[in-house]
């Protein structure tokens, strides 16, 4: 039974490795996803700002056109004033001119404000665009290095899985089945050491009689509470023993 216990310990070690590789793999995928989300959101935001800007520029062109027409009306009103012969006509023409001037002044002021706002927006967009380009480059570099790491991890997972197969071949099928069931039910940990007379899986106190059995390694023992296989960590180095046993 000793070699079974040692092989199970090795199996747990391998599974811990697989889990840590898989966790890192998943973490990288999630990190890349976050980066891409940030990049896409920033890109969308920038695109929307650019569209707003071209909309505003179109509005400005329309207003400039309108102002031009209004200015023509103003100069017409001016010439009407200069040719007014009668007082009544003169007063009416003057009133008309004043009114047109007032409207045009407002238009001009609005146009100036709009132009100023457009300049500010252009500057903001330029800065945002620069930031976006930098971010894109950074993310591109990160993607490259992470993609490389993902490849390495895949390879490692593959080679560790090969080790796992070797290891399970040394164990009775029934025990591998039990091991796998416990592992699934217990967050990936099916084989745990007993420390300070407690199961390190669930912290339950191990009775002296059971503890003696575990120490002797003549039988495969499980924790009465969490069902995990138990071993005492004070034994000899695993790999050598397994090699010797096989």
The contact set with Zn ion (CB under 5 A) reads 199, 201-202, 204, 223, 225-226
CB 205 to Zn ion: min, Å? 10
Residues 18/161, Cβ–Cβ less than 8 Å: yes
CB 231 to Zn ion: min, Å? 12
User: Which lies closer to Zn ion via its Cβ, residue 121 or residue 200?
Assistant: 200
User: Which lies closer to Zn ion via its Cβ, residue 153 or residue 201?
Assistant: 201
Residues 201/175, Cβ–Cβ less than 8 Å: no
User: Which lies closer to Zn ion via its Cβ, residue 11 or residue 199?
Assistant: 199
Residue 64, SS3 per DSSP:
helix
CB 197 to Zn ion: min, Å? 12
Name the residue with tokens 């592992």. 183
Residue of minimal CB distance from Zn ion? 223
User: Which lies closer to Zn ion via its Cβ, residue 70 or residue 202?
Assistant: 202
Q: From the CA atom positions of the chain, what is the Rg in Å?
A: 40
Name the residue with tokens 């399970």. 168
| Pairwise CA distance, residues 175 & 7, whole Å | 11
Residues 174/66, Cβ–Cβ less than 8 Å: no
CB 23 to Zn ion: min, Å? 23
CB 154 to Zn ion: min, Å? 33
Nearest to 218 by CA among 205, 207, 231, 206: 231
User: Which lies closer to Zn ion via its Cβ, residue 81 or residue 199?
Assistant: 199
Nearest to 178 by CA among 235, 221, 209: 221
CA separation, residue 2 to residues 106, 216, 245 (Å): 96, 9, 9
DSSP structure class, residue 16 = H
CB 209 to Zn ion: min, Å? 16
User: Which lies closer to Zn ion via its Cβ, residue 202 or residue 238?
Assistant: 202
């Amino acid at each position: 039974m000793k070699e079974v216990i040692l092989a199970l310990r090795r199996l747990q070690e391998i599974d811990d490795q697989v889990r840590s590789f898989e966790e890192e793999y998943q973490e990288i995928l999630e990190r890349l996803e976050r980066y891409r989300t940030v990049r896409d959101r920033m890109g969308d935001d920038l695109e929307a700002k650019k569209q707003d800007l071209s909309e505003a520029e179109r509005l400005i062109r329309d207003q400039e056109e309108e102002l031009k027409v209004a200015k023509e009306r103003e100069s017409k009103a001016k010439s009407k004033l200069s040719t007014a012969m009668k007082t009544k006509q003169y007063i009416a023409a003057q009133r008309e001119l004043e009114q047109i001037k007032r409207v045009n002044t407002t238009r001009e002021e609005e146009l100036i404000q709009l132009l100023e706002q457009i300049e500010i927006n252009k500057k903001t967009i330029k800065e945002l665009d620069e930031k976006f380009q930098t971010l894109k480059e950074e993310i591109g570099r990160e993607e490259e290095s992470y993609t490389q790491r993902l490849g390495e991890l895949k390879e490692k997972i593959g080679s560790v899985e090969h080790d796992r197969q070797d290891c399970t071949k040394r164990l009775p099928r029934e025990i591998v089945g039990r091991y796998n069931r416990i592992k699934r039910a217990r967050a990936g940990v099916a084989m745990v050491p007993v420390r300070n007379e407690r199961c390190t899986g669930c912290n339950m106190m191990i009775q002296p009689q059971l503890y003696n059995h575990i120490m002797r390694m003549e039988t495969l023992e499980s924790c009465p509470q969490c069902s995990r296989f138990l071993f005492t960590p004070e034994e000899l180095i695993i790999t050598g023993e397994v090699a010797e046993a096989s």
